[in-house]
Amino acid sequence: MPVDDSEKQESVQQDLLDQMRQSLGLLRVAFDSTDEAMLILDHKQTIRWANQKAADLCSKGMTALLLGKPLSKAIPFYSLKGELLPADSEQHPCHRFEDGDGTERLLIANNEDQSGSTSQTLSLLLWRHITNLREPFLLLILRDLDPIEQALLKQRIFIQALAHELRTPLAILSGSLKRLSRIIQNDKRVLSNLETATSESRRVCKLVDKLMLLSDLDTGQFNWAIEETSLSEALEEWRTSLPKEKAARIKFRFDPKCRYAKIDRQAFCIVLDQLLDNSLHFSDQKATVEISARLDAETVLIFFEDSGPGFTDTEQAEVNSIFERFKRLEEHRSNSRPEGSGLGLAIVNELMQGMGGRVEVKLRTPRPGPIRQGGCIVLSLPFSGKAQGCLIEPR
């Protein structure tokens, strides 16, 4: 009887092994039939597993040639500008794998064809951490972009390259205008024309900078550094960096202990710069800006209030569209001031989303009389819960 039990147990174990082999075989077929290249790396970023698509992409169809190979030597990654990213380059994706899951658009070099040349394919690189096993692993997925995505990305790359090329002649033009203004001091008519040319030159320079920033955001090239930061410190640091005439127009209302929020300081300062420029552009010379905030559940709400024209009921239907690119409200246009680029609030929207927040316009109930109530932009940011207290709530 014990012998029969032993034979039965061995038979059950064999059946389980056969089922496992069959399941693994089916999984292998499924992974090999997908159009996405997949690799699994260990904690040293050595390739431990790859499907057939990855082998076709990187090792002429032979999976065995990939196993045990460092990722940096197996796959040549290129920037969207076509520049090879060495393993020690800060732009190489392997340096961002430790920061959690993520995505990035890059150029991936394909195997040599019959002519001996290689081609580069626009690909979306996704990485996901595998943490439910004894050892930590990383799943990499290389996904080819569809034709529409490729066309949009190539367009953004073109805009970025064009903006970069425009910077040099614009810098030369600005320098030449400054030198001319020093030489010509007596002819007021010529000086007036020079001032106009200089102003337009600065405007185009700012437009180029905004286009490059949007291009970096669109193509995933903006270097994010999101961390828990004291809002009081970040706001005071930003105000200190401004020219004195601008800084004098800003008022803060602080509680002694300010809440911490998760922000990227550089992105946060750009957001504030854009909002301030927008407020001053549409306000008179005595314009003031007040920044205050309150905590709402797990969100820090920052209120950016100015003494500009604000937003009326007639604009309510289209007010949400002001965060679109090149969007301008007709009622805010005036012959007495130069036309804005229509990109400032679009940049604010993109940066806020990148920090896990959002931006919106706070509409107010109109009051009788000629006095304008000004505009109010609300920034929402994740609350870190690190410190107590907050900026005082707006009135």
Domain segments of the chain: what residues? 1-30, 34-143, 149-218, 226-382
Residue written as token pair 């389980």: 16
Instruction: Name the strands in the sheet holding 120-130, side by side, starting at the edge strand that comes first in the sequence.
Output: 47-50, 37-41, 137-144, 120-130, 102-109, 77-78
Helix, coil or strand: residue 380? strand
> What is the model's pLDDT at position 258?
58
Tokens of 257: 């202990």
Answer yes or no: are the C-beta atoms of 205 and 170 closer than 8 Å: yes
Tokens of 48: 């431990």
Answer yes or no: are the C-beta atoms of 212 and 163 closer than 8 Å: yes
- Cβ-in-10-Å burial (0-12, 13-18, 19+) of 381 comes to buried
Distance of alpha carbon 306 from alpha carbon 278, whole angstroms: 10
CB atoms closer than 10 angstroms to residue 180 = 15
Residue written as token pair 């009389």: 369
> What is the model's pLDDT at position 371?
43
Q: Give Cα 224 distance to the centre of its chain.
A: 7
Answer yes or no: are the C-beta atoms of 258 and 287 closer than 8 Å: no
Q: Side-chain half-sphere of 97: how many Cα atoms within 13 Å?
A: 26
Residue 136 vs residues 56, 130, 391: alpha-carbon distances, Å: 26, 6, 42
Residue 269 vs residues 64, 227, 234, 239, 250: alpha-carbon distances, Å: 50, 14, 8, 9, 14
> What is the model's pLDDT at position 2?
55
CATH architecture observed for domain 149-218: Orthogonal Bundle (1.10)
> What is the model's pLDDT at position 281?
79
Give the chain's largest Cα–Cα span: 118
H-run or E-run covering 141: strand 137-144
Per-residue model confidence as pLDDT tens for the chain (395 residues): 455 667 777 777 777 777 777 776 676 666 777 778 888 899 899 998 888 888 888 888 888 888 899 988 888 888 877 788 888 887 888 888 887 888 888 888 776 554 555 677 788 888 988 887 788 899 998 888 777 776 766 777 777 677 777 777 777 777 777 777 777 767 677 777 777 777 777 777 788 888 888 877 877 778 888 888 888 889 989 999 998 888 888 988 865 555 688 899 999 999 999 999 888 877 766 778 899 888 777 788 899 988 776 666 555 556 777 888 777 665 555 545 555 567 888 899 999 999 999 998 887 655 544 444 678 889 998 876 654 445 544 44
Distance of alpha carbon 224 from alpha carbon 268, whole angstroms: 11
CB atoms closer than 10 angstroms to residue 74 = 21
CATH architecture observed for domain 34-143: 2-Layer Sandwich (3.30)
The topology (CATH level 3) of 226-382 is Heat Shock Protein 90 (3.30.565)
Distance of alpha carbon 32 from alpha carbon 317, whole angstroms: 51
Answer yes or no: are the C-beta atoms of 372 and 307 closer than 8 Å: yes
